[in-house]
Amino acid sequence: GSNERTFISVKPDGVQRRLVGEIVHRFERKGFKLVGMKLLQASAEQLREHYRDLSEKPFYSSLVKYMSSGPIVVMAWQGHDVVKSARKMLGETNPADSLPGTIRGDFCVEVSRNVVHGSDSVESAQREISLWFEHHELLCWEECSQPWIYA
Ligand code: DAT
Ligand code: MG
């Protein structure tokens, strides 16, 4: 439905490389609605929880270290099929496999510095949004462009 939400985050390399505006711009232009956004320093504990499905992977501890190495921007975006569309806009996990035109295809080189996160399913989006946002930080608002984006 058009009320679907996904969790997107600009990772520490994306913030350091001044890509926050570019990434927000892409989701705005696509037609998705921003319903939550903040800059924060994530704790290792939060990141271990965020990436708990990867806890057995050999790169898990370096991933947590990288993700806690500087400020990140966390966002919730809403719209029709936003989880799947956002994953397409991000590109593949490995930037080397990401097509030009995707965020990872355009702005990064290594899998361990891939500038942006996006939820992989509606269920993980719900889990991640509730991990990073308080209920009151998520806004329901009327977009004046809505009738020009949805028939
Ligand atoms: P994605 O972020 O595309 O959902 P994922 O959930 O499989 O990918 O992994 C989470 C992050 O972990 C990924 O964005 C970058 C890092 N990562 C994944 N595979 C890796 C690998 N083989 N070596 C180093 N880091 C990796
Ligand atoms: Mg993932």
pLDDT band for 2, please (50, 70, 90 cuts): confident
pLDDT band for 15, please (50, 70, 90 cuts): very high
pLDDT of 78 strictly over 80? yes
86 CA to centre of ligand 2 in angstroms:
12
Considering only CA atoms, which of 25, 37, 33, 34 is closest in space to residue 150? 33
Pocket of ligand 1 contains residue 124 by CB under 6 Å: no
Considering only CA atoms, which of 90, 77, 88 is closest in space to residue 31? 77
Distance CA 117, CA 94 (A): 12
User: What is residue 135's predicted lDDT score, i.e. its pLDDT?
Assistant: 97
Report the greatest alpha carbon distance in the chain: 47
pLDDT band for 1, please (50, 70, 90 cuts): low
Interstrand relation of 72-78 and 116-118 (parallel, antiparallel or unpaired):
unpaired
Q: Determine the Cα angle at 43 with ends 119 and 108, to 5°.
A: 50
- Name the residue at shortest CA distance from atom 3 of ligand 1: 93
Q: What is the pTM of this model?
A: 0.98
Average pLDDT of every residue of the chain: 97
Q: Extract the annotated binding site for ATP.
A: 11, 59, 87, 93, 104, 114
Active-site pick, 50, 80, 117, 136:
117
Ligand 1 pocket test, candidate residues 9, 56, 112, 127, most atoms within 8 A of CB: 112
User: Do 28 and 34 contact (CB within 8 A), yes or no?
Assistant: yes
Each residue of 93-149: pLDDT tens digit? 999 999 999 999 999 999 999 999 999 999 999 999 999 999 999 999 999 999 999
Distance CA 137, CA 114 (A): 26
